Structure 1
Amino acid sequence: MEQSTTPPVKAGIQIMSPAHTRNTSTASSDTAYTTDTAYTADTVYTTDEEKRLHHGLQGSVSSIDKGKRESYSSVSSDLEAQNAEIDDYAQKRFGFIRYTALNVYRRLFSIAFIGNAIAFIILMVKGTAPLDLVNAAAVNLAVCGLCRHPLVVNSLFLTFGAVPRSAPMRLRRLACKIFHLGGVHSGAGVASCVWYIGFAGLYTYHFTPSPVSIAVLALIYFVLALLLAIIAVAHPAFRAKHHDYFELTHRFSNWAILALFWILIFLLGAQELAGLSSFLIHLPAFWILILLTAATIHPWLLLRRVPVKAEPLSPHAVRLHFSHATVRFGQGISVARHPLGDWHSFASFTDQFDAEETKFSCLVSKAGDWTRQAIAQPPTVLWKRGVPTYGFGYVFRMFERIIVVTTGSGIGPCLSFIEDPRRPNMRVVWQTKSPLKTYGQRTLDLVKRMDEEPVVIDTSVSGRVDMLPVVLKLYKEFGADAVCVISNPKMTKSLVYSLETRGIAAYGPIFDS
């Protein structure tokens, strides 16, 4: 074969083409897409389809790195038809109900809420004292709040993430669902409001006018209004459109409820004949309130203004480097420009491989006002609070082999895998627009640390590709245990649902809690 004057595609680049030989091994990371053939202008194609597919793929590879032609896989939109044959998985019976209406998040919500609802109805029918309803409301508020405390979250992830790879697959698949604990948070939160409404109704029914009781009644309904406001803005439809209002309403309403609850129980105690001290000591809600107050204050005691080294990547992305702490695999941080403003959480990854002067980084791309400002006017300092918190990706260390699927800046959370010595063997599928231009060569080099031959789909060349056929083929040939999906809410839910209904262990971040 004559040497072409056009630079050939470098050997080792994965080209998904129907004419290439399939590797039947499922144990090797060198999957069916590899080829050692360097195509030239004189190459003879067996079919028009192969010629069209190859030229489309070669253009995609060039767009990733025109100079070096690094060995990153690229995919054409023709892959959708090519890989359709791989979708031979049987659909699970009742899959739609199990993985939508009754997904793990909603099941946890239902258990938390329905269990409380049954107890509430029984107590109201049998008759109960108003303070019993206060105690029940306080217990649920404690569960709701602690489900979001960094120390509790870290403890849960460390516990469930410690399930060994030798454990039965069913147990590992279940333990991996720990990130759905937001269902408990939401269910207990709504249940606390139901208990509190019962308390407000009973107190109003037995109301006897006096200066103290009038003040108590006013506080009761003020707190109720705040509880209802928190629940209203937490609805996914509102939260998605007005996230800043959701966050500010949640934070300041929680603070106000704590303060008003303290006043409320002291006023209630002032009406007791046994005296205030005896009343408080024997009231469970008093001790729960102490716990909730401490849990609320704790993260703010760790509030710090920390330096940031911004590395602009493109008009669409920036990498923020930090040195104030050491962050472990799977952890993320919350940062803000102003401590009382809106806080944003980002997954982190180590800097030890390409920026040793700092400790860890966060990848930020355009997704809202805050991120746009961070790109246009990179910060030199930011506020941080609390401690780094484990997140969605940590539990994947219990699997031997996984497929990581992501789009755009979702590659940032995925990069945390590079620092884990116990990380599973993995293949990476990354669909994004102009990866080299948008995220830079250093980011692509870090991706190669996770997978030497990642499948990088450049949408500026191929257009958006249906990810499902690509993932199914890679899953089968790699012999993966699970699929990790990190993308926008719509794609994450769609792809995870499509995989789960085919019996594949698939997981994506929860956006509703």
Structure 2
Amino acid sequence: MEEGKLTKIARFSSCRGVAFEINPSRRSSPFAIDSPTKPERSIGTWLWIPWTRNNSFKILPHPQAISPTRSRASSHFCDINIDADDIELEFLSEVEDIQTNQEKIKVLPKLEATKRNSRLSIIMLDQGFTVYKGLFIVCITLNMLALALSASGNFSYGKSKATLFSIGNILALTLCRSEVALRFLFWFVVKTIGKPFVSLRIKTATTSFLQSVGGIHSSCGVSSIAWLVYSLVLTIKNDKTSPEILAVAFTILSLITLSSLAAFPLIRHLHHNAFERIHRFSGWLALILLWLFILLSISYEPSSKTYHLTISKMVKKQECWFTLAITILILIPWLGIKKVQVHVTAPSNHASIIKFDGGVKPGLFGRISPSPLSEWHAFGIISDGKNEHMMLAGAVGDFTKSLVSSPPKHLWIRSVHFAGLPYLVNLYQKVLLVATGSGICVFLSFLLQKNKADVYLIWVAKDIEMNFGNEIKELVGKYSKEKVIVHDTAVSGRPNVAEISVNAAINWNVEVVIVTSNPEGSRNVVKACNKAKIPAFGPIWDS
């Protein structure tokens, strides 16, 4: 860096990571790091510094793992310095200015620079072939094959039941996003294959599938449109359907198409609030019209061009039962909505801590809202499993910022908590959890409660006590010091998290690494672990 010049570093502030590839075979570290000088207190290549007078965590890393920096505080927690994962799809970016000392500059050795891509590139394109994409391709290929056979006259059932295939795809995509169904599925998987005798390959393959079911959701959405178009073409050719039925069918097709377009990655990324509202309200309206379509179709008599509906006709139609299942799956989460009293504190301008009554199991997420019909926000839950639980919310959007500036007394919640990737920690025997910033919130419950898995933790954040408060710091401090690496970037500079993670995973001999960071950070950790033959998982953009 030359004297007097300004260097700008683009930082990625997204809560989404990248997909992963599974390769749990023999491990070897791709990094050559010497051991610290005091092995009696070392953890891998890191050294734990005891509590200081100001009661802050400090970890002294090996110099080769550090990229020294003194940057100003970030306004977004999903960053390597101040990283927050409120699990929302809110993507913000900022540019950090680092000014050199005009009087005297000490030139530091430069680490090898890594290519920085745009957030959208990392989220969507810089992932290679993932399980998510594989599930999307397989599901849509099967649908298009069945559709082609039906159109060519080689699949008579598909031709006569085109509408049923469209509704069936809608049922499948609803199941893939049903928090109740997935909660049961995650629980069942942990209970059945979360045993020591089950091979690691089976566990990691199952984890990759469960994390990527969004690929099935997306492909079924596209396939339902294709089947509905085919059904409408056949109906128009038949010329025996009432104009009312055709009008309703075309309206349903328009709503489903609008919902799918709103979910297109570019639109979803840049205009997430619009996507969420379109996806929700167009889906609800389409479901209502689907019931109308089925009732009209069942009751219509082509010969007399009249409508006559009976219960016996309804119970014989598969379309009716599929639509009933869709309705139940959509209604269940909304039946558990209630307004509860909360206690909100703000340890800093960057985050708030929201406390609720009741203990919660590790690995679960909760949704809260100031207005249930307008917006919902999902956060990881921190709980000791006893009397209360809490959420750590980074101030990254209007709602989360309002929690800091105007703490509410009440919030709307969904009683049913849903499972995510962290819930699968108990599939394994030894797990390394890697978090940056407030991504720690999804892992803290595993430190506070007894688990089947032996859990180790790496936490990288900036100004921990100032930004996260004494309470969060103490929760981490209760866990065994021999199983925790805490790195405060305000004290020790910016680390190479991927390098730290690989060496810690090897030294602790863990089965798997689970990371919660920004897209670039998650990608780097996952790739480094894969290179070292260590199974690694991180949140994907459509988790």
How does the TM-score come out when normalised to structure 1? 0.80
Find the counterpart in structure 2 of residue 293 from structure 1: 327
Distance apart, 1:281 and its partner CA: 3.0
- 2:426/2:451 contact within 8 Å kept: yes
Distance apart, 1:204 and its partner CA: 2.8
Find the counterpart in structure 2 of residue 394 from structure 1: 423
The secondary structure found in structure 1 opposite 2:301 is coil
The alignment yields a C-alpha RMSD, in angstroms, of 3.0
2:203 is aligned with what amino acid? R
Count of equivalent residues: 447
- Whether 1:337 aligns to 2:366 is no
- After superposition, give the CA deviation of every residue in 1:137-173 in whole Å (9 maximum; x if it has no partner): 1111111112222221111101222221331111121
- Whether 1:233 aligns to 2:220 is no
- After superposition, give the CA deviation of every residue in 1:29-58 in whole Å (9 maximum; x if it has no partner): 9435347xxxxxxxxxxxxxxxxxxxxxxx
1:292 is aligned with what amino acid? I
What is the aligned counterpart of 1:73 among 59, 78, 82?
Answer: 59
Query: In structure 2, what is the Cα distance between the partners aligned to 1:492 and 1:168?
Result: 25
- Whether 1:190 aligns to 2:222 is yes
Query: In structure 1, what is the Cα distance between the partners aligned to 2:149 and 2:61?
Result: 60
Find the counterpart in structure 1 of residue 341 from structure 2: 307
Which of 252-261 and 184-193 deviates more?
184-193
Higher relative contact order (CA 8 A, sep 6+): 2
Find the counterpart in structure 1 of residue 138 from structure 2: 111
Which of 434-443 and 130-139 deviates more?
130-139
2:247 is aligned with what amino acid? A
Find the counterpart in structure 1 of residue 91 from structure 2: none
Map of 1:3-402 to 2, 5 A cutoff?
18=34, 20-21=36-37, 30-34=43-47, 67-68=54-55, 70=57, 72-75=58-61, 78-80=64-66, 100-126=127-153, 128=156, 132-162=161-191, 163=193, 164-177=195-208, 178-207=210-239, 213-272=242-301, 276-277=309-310, 279-323=313-357, 325-351=358-384, 359-402=388-431
Query: In structure 1, what is the Cα distance between the partners aligned to 2:217 and 2:527?
Result: 23
- 2:502/2:528 contact within 8 Å kept: no
- After superposition, give the CA deviation of every residue in 1:224-280 in whole Å (9 maximum; x if it has no partner): 111111111112222222221111111111110111011112222232369533543
Query: In structure 1, what is the Cα distance between the partners aligned to 2:254 and 2:344?
Result: 42
Structure 2: runs of 5+ lacking an equivalent: 1-31, 68-108, 113-125
Distance 1:172 1:112, change over 3 A: same
- After superposition, give the CA deviation of every residue in 1:313-334 in whole Å (9 maximum; x if it has no partner): 11101110001x4321111111
Query: In structure 1, what is the Cα distance between the partners aligned to 2:428 and 2:213?
Result: 20
Distance apart, 1:426 and its partner CA: 3.0
Distance 1:17 1:170, change over 3 A: closer
Find the counterpart in structure 1 of residue 509 from structure 2: 479
Distance 1:288 1:171, change over 3 A: same
Distance 1:66 1:365, change over 3 A: farther
Query: In structure 2, what is the Cα distance between the partners aligned to 1:498 and 1:276?
Result: 62
Map of 1:453-464 to 2, 5 A cutoff?
453=482, 454-464=484-494
- 1:336/1:383 contact within 8 Å kept: yes
1:485 is aligned with what amino acid? V
Query: In structure 2, what is the Cα distance between the partners aligned to 1:342 and 1:65?
Result: 43
- Whether 1:468 aligns to 2:498 is yes
2:329 is aligned with what amino acid? A
Which of 444-453 and 187-196 deviates more?
444-453
Distance apart, 1:459 and its partner CA: 2.5
2:59 is aligned with what amino acid? S
1:291 is aligned with what amino acid? A
Find the counterpart in structure 2 of residue 54 from structure 1: none
Distance 1:441 1:74, change over 3 A: farther
How does the TM-score come out when normalised to structure 2? 0.75
- 1:427/1:451 contact within 8 Å kept: no
Distance apart, 1:366 and its partner CA: 2.0
The secondary structure found in structure 2 opposite 1:196 is helix
Which of 124-133 and 160-169 deviates more?
124-133
Distance apart, 1:451 and its partner CA: 4.5
Structure 1: runs of 5+ lacking an equivalent: 1-15, 36-60, 86-98
The secondary structure found in structure 1 opposite 2:165 is helix
- 1:347/1:416 contact within 8 Å kept: no
Query: In structure 2, what is the Cα distance between the partners aligned to 1:268 and 1:389?
Result: 36
Query: In structure 2, what is the Cα distance between the partners aligned to 1:497 and 1:219?
Result: 49
Report the identity percentage. 26
Higher strand share: 2
- 1:308/1:322 contact within 8 Å kept: yes
Distance 1:359 1:19, change over 3 A: closer
Larger radius of gyration: 1
Distance apart, 1:112 and its partner CA: 1.8
- 2:338/2:415 contact within 8 Å kept: no
Find the counterpart in structure 2 of residue 93 from structure 1: none
